[in-house]
Amino acid sequence: MSKRAGGRWLAAALAVSAVLVSGCMAPVDPDELPGVYRDEATGAEIVLGSDGTFSATDVSMDGVSDPVDFSGEWDFLDDQASSDFVYLSVEDGGLGRTGGVQLYTSGPEKVYFNTDPDGPPTLELTRTAAR
């Protein structure tokens, strides 16, 4: 097999793998999203209320900035270009002029921030029992 044909085969195999992996993501039911999500290492916490409100405590979305608290309303947006996410409409708190933030879903038990679309998540939070 020539180098060129081998490269095409590898590219095709990687493309098929990406489709299969993305298809294996557990679908998210928006009715299952309300709850408390926490990162035990940082103490960050997001509470998604069943009434469409949210509160975020000690959250640093980029992993570098000082943690802040903010709150507002949330809405689940599915069938988007790259993945499903929760849109957090920020109404109050320490994000300054930021009007909204995307909180991505990784099944019904995990949510995460990803400030660099080509990089890994910057903060992952896992569903936990309310305190």
Residue spans of the domains in the chain: they are: 27-128
pLDDT of residue 30: 86
CATH number of 27-128: 2.40.128.640
Residues 6+ apart with CB under 8 A from 37: 45, 46, 47, 48, 110, 111, 125, 126, 127, 128
Distances (CA, A) of 44 to 89, 100, 104, 112, 113: 18, 18, 16, 11, 12
- Provide the residue-wise pLDDT of the chain in tens; the chain has 131 residues: 554 444 444 343 333 333 333 444 557 888 899 999 999 999 999 999 999 999 999 999 887 889 999 999 999 988 665 678 999 999 988 777 778 899 998 877 999 999 888 889 999 999 998 66
- For the chain, give me the number of helices (H) and strands (E)? 1, 8
| Whole-structure pTM value | 0.74
